[in-house]
Amino acid sequence: MPGQQDIQIDQVERLLQAAGADWDRRAHRFAVLAEAAAPSALARSWRMRRSRSADPLVFEAWVELCRGRHTGRMEDAGAAVDRCRRAADALGGDPTPWVVMLGILRLMRADSRELFPVWYEVTARDPWNREAHLQMLRYLSPEECGSRSSQLDFVETVRSSAPSTAPVVGVELTALVDEDVRIVARGGVEALLARRQWAGSRATRALDTALHWSRPGHLRHAAALADLNLLAFALVRAGRVRETADTFRVLGDTVTAWPWTLDGDPLDQFGHWQSRALI
């Protein structure tokens, strides 16, 4: 369709500009739009048409990061980092370029001496940035550049210091789901007993604390429905299906691929457990 890309670029610009200095909503929009644009040339076209604007630089770097996550490597990570640094110089207090840079360094398995200064730049601008905290959680995992103890220390720091309605409230449950996946991947008898972790004191406390997320209007961050999907999934894994009813009512028909995809087709899994919970 002639002019379709121009229309798409205008729409992306408006959505990002409308978020203003709401860094949480701005990062969420960047993440969703970049994932959607990854198969196309939209990001490059936008940068070529707005060569003096910072947002297209960040957007193209985030699109390249999305592609890198899918393939396991980035074609030119150095160029993407350079775009982030140029955007960061232009945008000042905006944490978004630093968030993308953090993701790129994580994908590159960069040394902590290179990654942590970027982490500090993000949190100096937005202390409870959801995307950055999830990036750090996975970076500190034993599968990547950390260990189980370093990951647990990070989770405990977030749990003990973050406000109860901060965008990072899902970090602890994310870590528990990741731990479940880690145990199952080992196979053997240990995998058969993986569900026992959900009966432990750490998981029980995290789930009990998270139950109030379902109160209408309690969570207001941009990815609140993603965290409610996470809560429903974790409660199912813990065998607490009856307690998911309020969460499923709030969610309605909003399904996120992760973490439901861990057990099969997300729509099938969500629909099955929602119907069980709301009987």
pLDDT at 82 over 80: yes
pLDDT at 30 over 90: yes
Please report the pLDDT score of residue 185 as a whole number.
Answer: 83
What's 1-132's CATH class? mainly alpha
Lowest mean pLDDT among 46-50, 78-82, 127-131, 272-276: 46-50
The CB-side HSE value for 247 (13 A sphere, CA atoms) comes to 29
CB atoms within 10 A of CB 91: 17
Rounded percentage of the chain residues whose pLDDT exceeds 70:
97
pLDDT at 234 over 80: yes
Report how far residue 129's alpha carbon sits from residue 122's, in angstroms, rounded to the nearest whole number: 8
> Residue 1: pLDDT band by 50, 70, 90 thresholds?
low
pLDDT at 2 over 70: no
Please report the pLDDT score of residue 196 as a whole number.
Answer: 81
pLDDT at 193 over 80: no
Please report the pLDDT score of residue 52 as a whole number.
Answer: 84
Handedness of CA 160, 127, 255, 63 (dihedral sign): negative
Specify the pTM: 0.94
148-178, pLDDT tens digit by residue?
Answer: 999 999 999 999 999 999 999 999 999 999 9
Please report the pLDDT score of residue 192 as a whole number.
Answer: 63
Portions of the chain given CATH number 1.25.40? 1-132
